[in-house]
C-alpha cells in the first residue's frame, strides 16, 4: 500500500507480509493469501493514511494490480479499489503488475533521488513468477524480447532452496549461504537456448541440481550447502547477465534496468555492475523496497496513466494473465 504525489515521489509505502503463514506449506497457498488480504487490506490503508496525516478525500485516484497474478488476491484488491473510488468519486486505474515493475526505476523518495533514466531502455524483470526482457519505449509502450520457457529465476531459486531444506521464500537464504561458498565447486549447465536467444530456461538446471543433491550423502548435505548455493546462484546470474548483454547488443540500447525480487540477489548485482561498467551501459537497479513487490510501483503506474487521461471502468475484471493489449 503506497501513496505517491503528482511527481512520483513516494510519500509512504507499507506492506503486510504474510510469508509466515505460507512457510509451513513450502510455498504460497492461494486461498490463504486471498483470505489474509481481506483481513489486512483496510487496516493497511488506515495505517498508511494515519502515518502521512492525509485524509482519503485528498486522494486523486486509486490504482490497483488487476493482472497477472493469483485471482483470489487480485479480486480482493480490485474490489477494494473500485469501492473506494466509487465512494470518493475519483478514478480507479487497473494496472498490470509487470508494468509496475518496469516503471519502478522512476520511483523516488526522501532517501532515493529521482533517476536520470530516460526512455527507451532495456528492462529485465526477474521475479518469482517472471523472467523476461523488454524494450521500454514509454509508458504503455513495451515490447517483449524474450521470456522464460519454463521456470522463472525466482522460482528456480526457491525450488533449489526447498531441495536443500531451506524455508520459503528461499531465494534470499540461497544468497546468504552462497556468501560462504565456492562458486566453482559444482558445475551446473548454463542454458542459453542457442546463440543470441533472449529466452530463458531453468528446467535443465533444476534437474541437474536435483541429481547433484541426490548424489550427496544426507549427513554431508548441510556442510555442502554453501558451495551448492554459490555454484547454483552463479549459473543463474551468468545466464541472466549474458542475455541482458545480448539484448543491449541486439537493440542498441545503452540503458538497462533490472527489477523484480531476484534483483535483490547480491551476486546478481555484482555481476551486473561489472558487466555494465565494461560494456559502457547505464545500469539502474532500483532500491530493494521498490524492486520487490510493492504498492508504490503500482501507484506510480496509476499516476502515469491518470496523467494521460486514462482510467478503468467499474466493470473491469481482474485476470490471472496479462492481456494482449498490455504488451506485457
For Zn ion, the closer of residues 146 and 154 by Cβ is 154
DSSP string, 216-238: S-HHHHHHHHHHHHHHHHHHHHH
C-alpha cell at 100: 509496475
The three-class DSSP label of residue 75 is helix
The three-class DSSP label of residue 166 is coil
Site track for Zn ion across 114-133, x = CB under 5 A: -------------x------
By CB under 6 A, residue 172 contacts ligand KG4: yes
Residue 25 CB coordination number (10 Å)? 10
CA dist 156 and 228 (Å) reads 14
By CB under 6 A, residue 8 contacts ligand KG4: no
CA dist 106 and 165 (Å) reads 38
Site track for ligand KG4 across 116-145, x = CB under 6 A: -----------xxx----------------
- In the bound complex, what is the minimum distance in angstroms from residue 287's beta carbon to ligand KG4? 13
By CB under 6 A, residue 154 contacts ligand KG4: yes
Site track for ligand KG4 across 93-112, x = CB under 6 A: --------------------
By CB under 6 A, residue 264 contacts ligand KG4: yes
Q: Which residue stretch of 79-87, 181-189, 258-266, 316-324 sits at the interface with ligand KG4 (rule: CB under 6 A)?
A: 258-266
Q: Are 261 and 293 in contact (CB under 8 A)?
A: yes
CA dist 169 and 128 (Å) reads 9
Q: Which does 310 bind (CB under 5 to 8 A by kind): ligand KG4, Zn ion, none?
A: none
Site track for ligand KG4 across 173-202, x = CB under 6 A: --x---------------------------
Q: Are 154 and 128 in contact (CB under 8 A)?
A: yes
Strand ranges of the sheet holding 282-284, from the earlier edge strand across to the other edge = 141-147, 131-138, 121-126, 255-259, 282-284
CA dist 24 and 104 (Å) reads 31
For Zn ion, the binding residue among 12, 47, 150, 293 (CB under 5 A) is 293
Report the residue number whose CB is nearest to ligand KG4.
261
C-alpha cell at 73: 488476491
Residues that bind ligand KG4 (CB under 6 A): 127-129, 154, 157-158, 169, 171-172, 175, 260-262, 264-265, 292-293
Residue ranges that bind Zn ion, judged by CB under 5 A: 127, 293
Amino acid at each position: 500500500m503506497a501513496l505517491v504525489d503528482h511527481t512520483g515521489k513516494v510519500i509512504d509505502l507499507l506492506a503486510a507480509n504474510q510469508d509466515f503463514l505460507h512457510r509451513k506449506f513450502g510455498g504460497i497457498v492461494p486461498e490463504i493469501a486471498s483470505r489474509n488480504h481481506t483481513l489486512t487490506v483496510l487496516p493497511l490503508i488506515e495505517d498508511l493514511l494515519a502515518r502521512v496525516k492525509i485524509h482519503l478525500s485528498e486522494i486523486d485516484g486509486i490504482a490497483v494490480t488487476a493482472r497477472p497474478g493469483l485471482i483470489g488476491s487480485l479480486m480482493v484488491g480490485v474490489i477494494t479499489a473500485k469501492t473506494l473510488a466509487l465512494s470518493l468519486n475519483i478514478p480507479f486505474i487497473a494496472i498490470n503488475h509487470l508494468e509496475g515493475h518496469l516503471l519502478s526505476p522512476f520511483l523516488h523518495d526522501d532517501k532515493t533521488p529521482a533517476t536520470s533514466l530516460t526512455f527507451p531502455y532495456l528492462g529485465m524483470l526477474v521475479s518469482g513468477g517472471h523472467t523476461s526482457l523488454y524494450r521500454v519505449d514509454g509508458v504503455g509502450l513495451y515490447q517483449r524480447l524474450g521470456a522464460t520457457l519454463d521456470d522463472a529465476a525466482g522460482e528456480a531459486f526457491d525450488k533449489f532452496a526447498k531441495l536443500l531444506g531451506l524455508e520459503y521464500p528461499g531465494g534470499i537464504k540461497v544468497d546468504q549461504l552462497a556468501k560462504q561458498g565456492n562458486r566453482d565447486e559444482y558445475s551446473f549447465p548454463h542454458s542459453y537456448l542457442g546463440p543470441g536467444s533472449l529466452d530463458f530456461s531453468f528446467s535443465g538446471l533444476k534437474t541437474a541440481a536435483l541429481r547433484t543433491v541426490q548424489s550427496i550423502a544426507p549427513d554431508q548435505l548441510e556442510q555442502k550447502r554453501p558451495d551448492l548455493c554459490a555454484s547454483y546462484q552463479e549459473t543463474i546470474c551468468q545466464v541472466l547477465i549474458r542475455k541482458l548483454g545480448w539484448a543491449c547488443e541486439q537493440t542498441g540500447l545503452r540503458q538497462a534496468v533490472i527489477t523484480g525480487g531476484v534483483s535483490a540477489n547480491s551476486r546478481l548485482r555484482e555481476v551486473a555492475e561489472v558487466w555494465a561498467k565494461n560494456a559502457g551501459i547505464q545500469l539502474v537497479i532500483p532500491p530493494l523496497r521498490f524492486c520487490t513487490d510493492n504498492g508504490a510501483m503500482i501507484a506510480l503506474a496509476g499516476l502515469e496513466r491518470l496523467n494521460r487521461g486514462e482510467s478503468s471502468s467499474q466493470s473491469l475484471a481482474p485476470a490471472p494473465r496479462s492481456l494482449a493489449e498490455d504488451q506485457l
